Amino acid sequence: MTQTINTTCPYCGVGCGVNATVSASNRHIQIKGDQSHPANFGRLCSKGSALGETVGLAERLLEPRINGQTASWEAALDLVADTLLKTIAAHGKDSVAIYGSGQLLTEDYYVANKLMKGFIGNANIDTNSRLCMSSSVAGHKRAFGSDTVPGCYADFEHADLIVLIGSNTAWCHPVSFQRIRAAKEANPRLKIVVIDPRRTATCDIADLHLPLAAGSDTTLFNGLLKHLSASALADGYIRHHTQGFAEALTAASSADMAQVAADCLLNPADVALFFAWFTATEKVMSLYSQGVNQSTSGTDKVNAIINCHLATGRIGKPGMGPFSLTGQPNAMGGREVGGLSHQLAAHMDFATPGDINRVARFWQTDNIPAQGGLPAVALFDAIYEGKVKAVWIMGTNPVVSLPNADKVKQALQRCDFVVVSDCIADTDTTALAHVLLPAQGWSEKNGTVTNSERRISRQRSLFNGAGNAKPDWWIICQVAQRMGFGEAFAFQHPVEIFREHAALSGFENHGSRDFDISAFADISLTDYDDLQPVQWPVNAANPHGTARLFADGRFFTPSGKAQFIAITPRPPANLPDTDYPLILNTGRLRDQWHTMTRTALASQLNQHKPEPFVEVHPTDAERFGLLHNSLATLESRWGNMTARVHITDGQKPGNLFVPMHWTAHYASHGRMGALVNPAVDPVSKQPECKHTPARIRTYPAA
Ligand code: SF4
CA-based nearest residue to 462, from 50, 37, 51, 47:
51
Report the mean per-residue pLDDT for the chain. Answer: 95
Q: Which atom of ligand 1 is least distant from the CA of 173?
A: 5
| Whole-number Å distance between alpha carbons of 655 and 674 | 18
**Is the CB of residue 15 below 6 angstroms from any atom belonging to ligand 1?**
yes
Q: Which atom of ligand 1 is least distant from the CA of 39?
A: 4
Please state which of the four CATH numbers 3.10.450.50, 3.40.228.10, 3.30.390.50, 3.40.50.1100 is assigned to the domain occupying 134-325: 3.40.228.10
Ligand 1 test: best mutation among 7, 9, 442, most atoms within 8 Å of CB?
A: 9
**Is the CB of residue 612 below 6 angstroms from any atom belonging to ligand 1?**
no
**Is the CB of residue 596 below 6 angstroms from any atom belonging to ligand 1?**
no
Of the chain, the end-to-end C-alpha distance in Å amounts to: 61
pLDDT at residue 667 is higher than 70: no
3-54 is classed in which CATH architecture? Answer: 2-Layer Sandwich (3.30)
Query: Please, are residues 65 and 435 in contact by the beta-carbon 8 Å criterion?
Result: yes
- Per residue in 76-107, pLDDT (tens digit) is 999 999 999 999 999 999 999 999 999 999 99
CA of 214 to the centre of ligand 1 (A): 27
Query: Please, are residues 438 and 63 in contact by the beta-carbon 8 Å criterion?
Result: yes
Determine the pLDDT at residue 665.
66
Ligand 1 test: best mutation among 37, 44, 591, 598, most atoms within 8 Å of CB?
A: 44
Per the DSSP assignment, residues forming a β-bridge with 158 are none
Mean pLDDT of 651-680: 86
Mean pLDDT of 497-508: 97
Query: Please, are residues 586 and 618 in contact by the beta-carbon 8 Å criterion?
Result: no
Query: Please, are residues 453 and 156 in contact by the beta-carbon 8 Å criterion?
Result: no
In this structure, the number of other CB atoms found within 10 A of the CB of residue 629 comes to 10
Determine the pLDDT at residue 24.
65
pLDDT at residue 691 is higher than 60: yes
Report the range of poorest mean pLDDT among 305-314, 559-568, 665-674.
665-674
Domain ranges of the chain: 3-54, 65-131+330-527, 134-325, 582-698
Query: Please, are residues 227 and 275 in contact by the beta-carbon 8 Å criterion?
Result: yes
pTM summary value: 0.97
pLDDT at residue 666 is higher than 70: no
In CATH terms, the fold of domain 582-698 is Barwin-like endoglucanases (2.40.40)
CA of 622 to the centre of ligand 1 (A): 38
**Is the CB of residue 332 below 6 angstroms from any atom belonging to ligand 1?**
no
- Strands 435-438 and 417-422, bridge-based pairing: parallel
Q: Residue 468: what are its φ and ψ, rounded to 5°?
A: -105, 20
Nearest CA to ligand 1 atom 2: 12
Going by the DSSP 8-state scheme, the letter that residue 688 receives in this structure is: -
255 exposure class (CB count in 10 Å sphere: 0-12, 13-18, 19+) = buried
Please enumerate in sequence order all residues whose Cβ is within 8 A of that of 448, keeping only pairs 6 or more positions apart, or say none: 105, 106, 107, 333, 456, 457, 458, 459, 494, 498, 531
Interface predicted TM-score of the whole assembly (ipTM), two decimals: 1.00
- Per residue in 601-619, pLDDT (tens digit) is 888 998 898 889 999 999 9
| Whole-number Å distance between alpha carbons of 433 and 116 | 20
- For residue 445, the one-letter residue type is K
Mean pLDDT of 499-506: 98
Nearest CA to ligand 1 atom 6: 48
| Whole-number Å distance between alpha carbons of 120 and 146 | 27
**Is the CB of residue 47 below 6 angstroms from any atom belonging to ligand 1?**
yes
**Is the CB of residue 474 below 6 angstroms from any atom belonging to ligand 1?**
no
| Whole-number Å distance between alpha carbons of 149 and 324 | 7
| Residue 405, helix vs strand vs coil | helix
| Whole-number Å distance between alpha carbons of 2 and 440 | 21
Q: Does domain 65-131+330-527 have CATH number 3.40.50.740?
A: yes
**Is the CB of residue 18 below 6 angstroms from any atom belonging to ligand 1?**
no
Q: Residue 603: what are its φ and ψ, rounded to 5°?
A: -60, -40
CA of 300 to the centre of ligand 1 (A): 29
- Per residue in 114-147, pLDDT (tens digit) is 999 999 999 999 999 999 999 999 999 999 999 9
Query: Please, are residues 339 and 330 in contact by the beta-carbon 8 Å criterion?
Result: no
Ligand 1 test: best mutation among 7, 14, 172, most atoms within 8 Å of CB?
A: 14
**Is the CB of residue 16 below 6 angstroms from any atom belonging to ligand 1?**
yes
Q: Which atom of ligand 1 is least distant from the CA of 15?
A: 7
| Whole-number Å distance between alpha carbons of 179 and 184 | 9
More confident: 389 or 353:
389
Per the DSSP assignment, residues forming a β-bridge with 324 are 288
